């Protein structure tokens, strides 16, 4: 299982996205690192799973993703 960083522009989006992923049984948590995420406040969702599935869940839930990095 791969780890992905979803780079977002606000803590509100990050918290919303974290809940969406966790409700779907995906291990996810929010942290802040402005070196990894130069967008907005620097919040990131770190999640383990399938990139396409997680991206679709977040977008359907109204979470705007600035960038996705694979770790």
The predicted structure's pLDDT at residue 51: 97
CA distance 16 to 69: 19
The predicted structure's pLDDT at residue 39: 86
The predicted structure's pLDDT at residue 67: 96
How many CA atoms are closer than 13 Å to the CA of 67, on its beta-carbon side? 11
Instruction: Answer whether 2's CB lies under 8 Å from 48's CB.
Output: yes
CA distance 50 to 26: 9
Question: Which domain CATH number covers 40?
Answer: 3.30.70.100
Domain that holds residue 64: 3-70
- Tens-digit pLDDT string for the chain (71 aa): 899 999 999 999 999 999 999 999 999 999 999 899 998 889 999 999 999 999 999 999 999 999 999 98
Instruction: Answer whether 14's CB lies under 8 Å from 43's CB.
Output: yes
What is the count of structural domains for the chain?
1
CB atoms under 10 Å from CB of 39, counted, come to 16
């Amino acid at each position: 299982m791969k780890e992905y960083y979803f780079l977002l522009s606000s803590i509100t989006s990050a918290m919303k996205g974290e809940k969406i992923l966790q409700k779907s049984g995906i291990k996810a948590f929010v942290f802040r690192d402005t070196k990894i995420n130069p967008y907005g406040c620097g919040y990131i969702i770190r999640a383990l799973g399938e990139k396409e599935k997680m991206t679709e869940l977040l977008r359907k839930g109204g979470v705007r993703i600035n960038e996705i990095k694979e770790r």
